[in-house]
Amino acid sequence: MGNLCSLLTQPPAKKKHTKRSSNAPPLSNLSSRWTRMRSSRKDKLDDAIIREQALAAAILFKQHQKNGTLPFDRSSSMRYPNGWSKKNSLPRSSSSRARSLTDPLLQPHQLVNQGIKLDDLETSHFVLVHGGGFGAWCWYKTIALLEEGGFKVTAIDLTGSGVHSFDTNNIRSLSQYVKPLTDYLEKLPEGEKVILVGHDFGGPCISYAMELFPRKVSKAVFVAAAMLTSGQSTLDIFSQQVGSNDLMQQAQIFLYANGNDEPPTAIELDKSLLRDLLFNQSPSKDVALASVLMRPIPFAPVLEKLSLSDVNYGSVRRFYIEAPDDNAIPIALQENMINTSPPEKVFRLKGADHSPFFSKPQAMHKLLIEISKIQ
């Protein structure tokens, strides 16, 4: 990289009245040099851009030399490393709204998580589990921020979600729905641990995984998620707000793939109500993304009651991130779940709607880092 920098910082050409030394270059070389000096302002700007791109390429090359390429997990949606141009060198919200003090724009030196020694953490590997109807795609800002700090990140597409091609209407059980996550954890090397992060219906999914693989889960983080107790189903939780959440009832569209005489097979959300229900504080671009990519929610797993034991599920350290402006799982319901089964610590993400990875990505990132550091 040193050679590259030296090439990009050549000294300026000498002025006309300066005497040439005895070993001066030929006149033809001098003439071409004067021609370059008389180039237009546009050419100079182009040169500056080229220098910036070359430096960025050199930095990227050095990073790959030091850290190796970014990990890609076949169980997750495709991800690409951040581009290194000036325009997109920092992962940031696409919101056109004024940024609140609770979600400040981080500077480059802050994104490297100064003061954190990854080797001192029990694990630096986050496994992100989306909620009902979402996919691994919803974590794109969180993935960028964590990977920028050197953390390993795996975002799972559950069965029939994201790029997983299975028909949602044919999902018969929670175990079938969660299989991409349990398969991933099962293949982890002995002794390797992860931090599970579950959003929305991803809460029961990580609870199911915690019961099966407690020794592979360092911590579990519930983000505006359903946090059940043993013997409860997700439907039981949401039944507690019947009559108090008319918006949720208006948005639900039941699908009957097996005929109207049979139980529903999936639930779809009315796209015209997505913003008010799930993204009331989120940038418009993210709402548009979600309206294109969201898929139906399988109904059978929502009905299934969890069997959670103290020796397995209860041995994993739990944390909860509240979203006070959530219209899908209102804050009163979040607090009721917390009081029923208290986690180790509760964080409140001020100004967050049901989708903090869109509405408060920077602030949520800080909380995830803070949780990873808790001894």
Active site residues: 200, 326, 354
- Give Rg (Cα) of the chain: 26
Strand pairing category for 297-298 and 266-269: antiparallel
| Residue 269: DSSP 8-state | E
Backbone φ, ψ for residue 77 (5° rounding): -65, 155
What's the distance, CA 218 to chain centroid?
19
The span from the CA of 168 to the CA of 172, in Å, is: 9
367 residue type, one letter: L
CA dihedral sign of residues 271, 277, 279, 280: positive
Could you report how far apart the first and last alpha carbons of the chain are, in Å?
A: 39
Q: Classify 259 as helix, strand or coil.
A: coil
The span from the CA of 20 to the CA of 298, in Å, is: 81
Q: How many helices (H) and strands (E) does the chain have?
A: 15, 9
Q: Classify 172 as helix, strand or coil.
A: coil
Residue with structure tokens 């109807």? 133
Q: Which residues contact 7 (CB under 8 A, 6 or more apart)?
A: none
Helices (H), the chain: 2-8, 27-37, 41-67, 108-111, 140-148, 174-186, 202-212, 234-239, 246-251, 274-278, 284-293, 300-303, 331-340, 356-359, 361-373
The span from the CA of 222 to the CA of 121, in Å, is: 20
